[in-house]
Amino acid sequence: MITKLKKLPKELKNILDVISSLAEPQGVRVYLVGGIVRDLLLGRTNLDLDIVVEGDAAALAQALAQRYSAKFTRHHAFGTATVFFDNHKIDFATARKEYYSRPGVLPAVEPSDLRDDLFRRDFTINAMAISLNKNDYAKLIDFYSGSRDLKQKLIRVLHNRSFSDDPTRILRAVRFEQRFSFKIEKKTLGLIKEAAAQEALRCVHAHRLRDELVLILKEPKPCRNVKRIGALTGFLFINKSLKVNKRIYGLLCRVEKTIGVYGKKFGGLRKVDAWLIYLIGLMIGLKREEIAKFVQEFDFRKGDRIRVLSAKDSLAGISCLDKNVKPRDLYRKLFPLSLETILFFYAYYSGKTIRRQIELFLGKLIHIRLKVKGSDLKALGFQPLVLYGKVLEGLLDAKIEKKLATKGEELKEAKHIFHKLLLKQPV
Ligand code: ATP
């Protein structure tokens, strides 16, 4: 494995060597584990280093942080700590054994050795380690035949209770299967179906389901993941009536295409949260109150909740964006919405007219801002102040329709609007 370790950026490889040299005097054994080992064997880039220590992980992490003058955080979770470097972080954990008292709840843990620590993991391909100890540095440790399963492209659990212990592993199985184009091994698939029949995912805490759902929607091909989950277990854990039918699948495929179009044509605007557009696509068929309940219970961040709900709220209003809509009305409709919501509408409404209007907005109108501000109107002595809001509103319409370019043109138009409004004022 030494040649594989050498594939890591030099800086990271050096840090591993330092970890190795710090572990020996502390009398602990130390290993690189999990996804990074899998990805090194697959030749895939991964810079997330997870270290397991047979002994006090936080003490070792602290020593490393001191050596590099790096930031160090000790977590509340059992024996875990993180060291932060400029471009990456390294997670440390004390080797542990886990006991599940009930499906879906977090397990009780106790310190143990590497073998137990690897046995508590989700799949054989994620349960390998590389030794960082002086006597067998870089040796692959593979108690559960993960490298065989990697070669055979199989996702396999380590024991029969795996999905009842932690049903989120069902979602993880699909994620790795789809990401690597692997297959879920036959017995493992049977266990997933058993867990699905018992609606195991409904026992899991909403936060954990949310995190796994977001990870799925962040995968390169979320549509395939969603389709597979729909077929294997469904999305009962989100809502009883959520079914991945042809309509939803078609919509999510259009979201995928839309994100491609956006990248090519408008990518300069900003990087969008593509996962959120998929989430909107998944939820849009539900009732508003169901969506509100879901985003609340799953405790999505406020900004995410607003974006999902605003898509539901403004969906119908977008259907009337025909070719006769005035640019100023188009601006008013779309400007308050997030890019994610607007791109969702592009995917949802596949007709040419609405798409052209959205393209007009994203290509041109979105950049329009008034140069004139309230303070400019004040400096010109406009009175009364209560009219300022209306003047600026009218000015924005005029700027869009008459394509006013300079501040001078805007001021001239502002005066005009102001006088018209004054005439309408009751005496
Ligand atoms: P990714 O490439 O998506 O980051 P990863 O394998 O690195 O995948 P993480 O979620 O970062 O996944 O978890 C790191 C490791 O922790 C996994 O490789 C696996 O060994 C273990 N793990 C994570 N989640 C679970 C779980 N629910 N049950 C058991 N083991 C888990």
Spacing, Cα 282 to ligand 1 middle (Å): 25
pLDDT tens digit sequence for 399-413: 998 888 899 999 999
Could you say which of 108, 125, 152 is where a domain stops? 152
For residue 215, the ligand 1 atom closest to its alpha carbon is 3
Residue ID of nearest Cα to ligand 1 atom 7: 35
Residue 207: C-alpha distances to residues 16, 104, 105, 210, 255 (Å):
33, 12, 12, 5, 25
Query: Residue 101's pLDDT is what?
Result: 83
Query: Residue 105's pLDDT is what?
Result: 78
3-state helix, strand, coil split of the chain in percent (to 5) is 60, 10, 30
Query: Residue 175's pLDDT is what?
Result: 98
Pairing relationship of beta strands 183-184 and 154-155 according to DSSP bridges:
parallel
Query: Residue 171's pLDDT is what?
Result: 97
Classified as helix, coil or strand, 109 is strand
Q: Average the pLDDT over 376-387 and give the result.
A: 85
Give the bridge partners for 342, in sequence order.
Answer: none
Tokens for 314, please give them.
């403004």
124 touches ligand 1 (CB under 6 Å): no
Q: Counting beta carbons within 10 angstroms of the beta carbon of residue 426, is it exposed (0 to 12), middle (13 to 18) or buried (19 or more)?
A: exposed
Query: Residue 196's pLDDT is what?
Result: 94
Spacing, Cα 263 to ligand 1 middle (Å): 30
Residue ID of nearest Cα to ligand 1 atom 25: 122
98 touches ligand 1 (CB under 6 Å): no
Could you say which of 187, 214, 230 is where a domain stops? 230
User: For residue 216, which of 245, 258, 174, 247 has the smallest C-alpha distance?
Assistant: 174
pLDDT tens digit sequence for 79-125: 899 999 988 899 999 999 999 888 777 888 899 999 999 999 999 99
Q: How far apart (Å, rounded) are the C-alpha atoms in residues 157 and 168?
A: 13
One domain for residues 145 and 42: yes
166 touches ligand 1 (CB under 6 Å): yes
One domain for residues 172 and 113: no
126 touches ligand 1 (CB under 6 Å): yes
pLDDT tens digit sequence for 322-351: 888 999 999 999 999 999 999 999 999 999
pLDDT tens digit sequence for 33-90: 999 999 999 999 999 899 999 999 999 999 999 999 999 999 877 789 999 998 889 9
313 touches ligand 1 (CB under 6 Å): no
Tokens for 42, please give them.
């697959």
Q: Average the pLDDT over 201-222 and give the result.
A: 95
> Taken in order 202, 204, 207, 213, is the CA torsion positive or negative?
negative
One domain for residues 192 and 310: no
One domain for residues 198 and 68: no
Q: How far apart (Å, rounded) are the C-alpha atoms in residues 304 and 273?
A: 10
Residue 65: C-alpha distances to residues 11, 51, 69 (Å):
15, 14, 6
43: left (phi over 0), alpha (psi -120 to 50) or beta: left
327 touches ligand 1 (CB under 6 Å): no
96 touches ligand 1 (CB under 6 Å): no
For residue 46, the ligand 1 atom closest to its alpha carbon is 2
CATH code of residue 215: 1.10.110.30
One domain for residues 74 and 123: yes
Mean pLDDT score across all residues of the chain:
93
One domain for residues 15 and 86: yes
Stated pTM of the model:
0.92
pLDDT tens digit sequence for 166-195: 999 999 999 999 999 999 999 999 999 999
One domain for residues 267 and 354: yes
Give the bridge partners for 98, in sequence order.
Answer: 109
One domain for residues 250 and 206: no
One domain for residues 133 and 38: yes
For residue 39, the ligand 1 atom closest to its alpha carbon is 2
Spacing, Cα 246 to ligand 1 middle (Å): 31
Per-residue pLDDT band at 427 (split at 50, 70, 90): low
Q: How far apart (Å, rounded) are the C-alpha atoms in residues 28 and 64?
A: 14
219 touches ligand 1 (CB under 6 Å): no
397 touches ligand 1 (CB under 6 Å): no
Residue ID of nearest Cα to ligand 1 atom 26: 122
Neighbouring CB atoms inside 10 A of 55's CB total 17
Domains: count for the chain: 4
One domain for residues 265 and 296: yes
122 touches ligand 1 (CB under 6 Å): yes
Angle at 333 between CA 337 and CA 385, to 5 degrees: 95
> Taken in order 239, 244, 246, 248, is the CA torsion positive or negative?
positive
CATH code of residue 246: 1.10.3090.10
Per-residue pLDDT band at 377 (split at 50, 70, 90): confident
One domain for residues 203 and 128: no
Question: Is 129 within 8 Å of 141 (Cβ atoms)?
Answer: yes
Q: How far apart (Å, rounded) are the C-alpha atoms in residues 357 and 334?
A: 10
pLDDT tens digit sequence for 270-292: 899 999 999 999 999 999 999 99
- AA letter at 208: R
Domain span including residue 124: 2-152
One domain for residues 269 and 196: no
107 touches ligand 1 (CB under 6 Å): no
169 touches ligand 1 (CB under 6 Å): yes
Could you say which of 347, 365, 383 is where a domain stops? 365
CATH code of residue 31: 3.30.460.10
Residue ID of nearest Cα to ligand 1 atom 4: 35
Lowest mean pLDDT among 162-171, 351-360, 377-386: 377-386
